Chains A and B, each alone.
Chain A
């Protein structure tokens, strides 16, 4: 055991602050097991040194890795379902009427993790549009190369498909492959995955009609949040839609967005003239 009581306490407080999840005393073993791969990937011999390093030189990237390693066992499909309901109920009809029939809708899943979010969007669109594969392009990006590769592969474990994926969608859009489930070729064709660091200048992409940027801003300080929102807005169509995480908002961060309530969720749209 390399984790001192002080280090464990620091990790507990970090996780509680970022995710509202409480790590009970006695979970030192879990922290060790989950964080050791991160320590190794950073060239550090053990978890104690990882914590020391992040405490002395905080970085949103390492913080996010630590919090995710301790909080997300599997990402849910339809995570906080409301932003997906909003897509099919309001956003899609509005975009279809505003765009020409040959114009391809561009959607960006900006922190795609292992692929649940982009494929959730792809399934919804394939079920809603007869020609989804030619009408829509989904760009999926993540900071982590490993996550990008998972997204590209489109293979999910039994435990992953159990997390909030409706059974009728599972049998319609996936096939069993050994002990895993493989997403259908048509959905994979709709999704293009690549690495992207939101905190750095963004590559040429878009322009996007819809952006899902959920549960990312919480890890950054105010100036970085502002810079990210500014860069994202530059890649969006003027009448585009931005979805943030349930605990996130542009209010008080960047006033060049208009908040629109759609059912039980909120979307943000670029304000004109900014």
Chain B
């Protein structure tokens, strides 16, 4: 489709999507620092994709500001439990319950999310961590997705917008005087 040369952009402000604000390398650096500092000094994230198992768990925080969305960590249930043990170190209980995993994985999402938020235009507010099934991707264009391996297990960090995609421009050229519907 080509717009007529005199086509006027819709006066509604263009919504900025996340790939314009942050790149995968920045998200990788943020997650990498979180792992080295919190999980262990030789715990590296290898930026390679892997197949998530059937049983996954997600932890995320919401960011509300000039850009609004969620920073979501998703991994296999067993990997989330391993991560919890690594985070707690000596203080880990012999048997982890669901609460322990939700708390620790949620806190990692909070740490990654807080730093992603600070790398975006602000000011923004950060929600409390939530754990469960990841929020849906509302707009495939508004996602920055990083796939990594930790101790060989896949983990995904997804920075995803909370708003649906803007409607695609009409097939018909806009009204000559620029008025929109």
Direct contact of A and B (CB under 8 A): yes
Query: Interface on A for B, CB 8 Å cutoff?
Result: 29-30, 33, 73, 157-159, 176, 178-179
A29 and B42 contacting across the interface, CB-CB below 8 Å: yes
Whether the Cβ atoms of A178 and B119 lie closer than 8 Å is yes
| B35 CB, min distance to chain A CBs, angstroms | 11
CB closest residue in chain B, given A176: B118
CB-based closest 7 A-B pairs: A179-B119, A178-B119, A179-B30, A30-B42, A178-B26, A179-B26, A159-B33
With A178-B26, A179-B26, A179-B118 already in contact, the answer to whether A158 and B33 are too (CB < 8 A) is: yes
Q: CA A30 – CA B26 in complex, angstroms?
A: 25
Cα(A178)–Cα(B44), bound, Å: 21
> Which residues from A are CB-within-8-Å of B118?
176, 179
Interface pair B41/A157, CB less than 8 Å apart: no
Contacts of A73 in B (CB 8 A): 41
Question: Could you tell me if B42 and A157 are in contact, using CB atoms closer than 8 angstroms?
Answer: no
Asked if B68 lies at the interface with its beta carbon under 8 angstroms from chain A, I say: no
Chain A CB within 8 A of B56 CB: no
Residues of B66-89 at the interface with A, using a CB-CB cut-off of 8 Å, are none
Shortest Cβ distance from residue B27 to the other chain A in the assembled complex, whole angstroms = 9
Nearest-neighbour CB distance to chain A for B132, whole angstroms, equals 27
> Is B124 among interface residues, defined by CB-CB distance under 8 A?
no
Neighbour of A159 across the interface among B26, B37, B119, CB < 8 A: B37
Question: With the chains together, A157 CA to B34 CA distance in Å?
Answer: 12
B42 adjacent to A158 (CB under 8 Å): no
18 residue pairs of the A-B complex, CB under 8 angstroms, read A29-B42, A30-B41, A33-B42, A73-B41, A157-B29, A157-B33, A158-B33, A159-B33, A159-B36, A176-B118, A176-B119, A178-B26, A179-B26, A179-B29, A179-B30, A179-B33, A179-B115, A179-B119
CB distance from A130 to the nearest CB of B (A): 32
A33 CA to B44 CA in the complex, in Å? 10
Question: Which residue in chain A gives the minimum CB-CB distance to B41?
Answer: A73
B115 touches A158 (CB 8 A): yes
List residues of B (102-141) whose CB comes within 8 Å of A's CBs.
115, 118-119
Question: Inside 8 A of B42's CB, which chain A residues have their CB?
Answer: 29-30, 33
Q: Would you give the shortest CB distance from A87 to chain B, in whole angstroms?
A: 30
Query: What are the residues of chain B within 8 A of A158 when measuring CB–CB?
Result: 30, 33, 115
Bound Cα distance A272, B126 (Å): 62
- From B21, which residue of chain A is reached at the shortest CB distance? A178
Q: Please encode chain B, from 27 to 59, with 1 for each CB lying within 8 Å of some chain A CB and 0 for all others.
A: 001100100110001101000000000000000
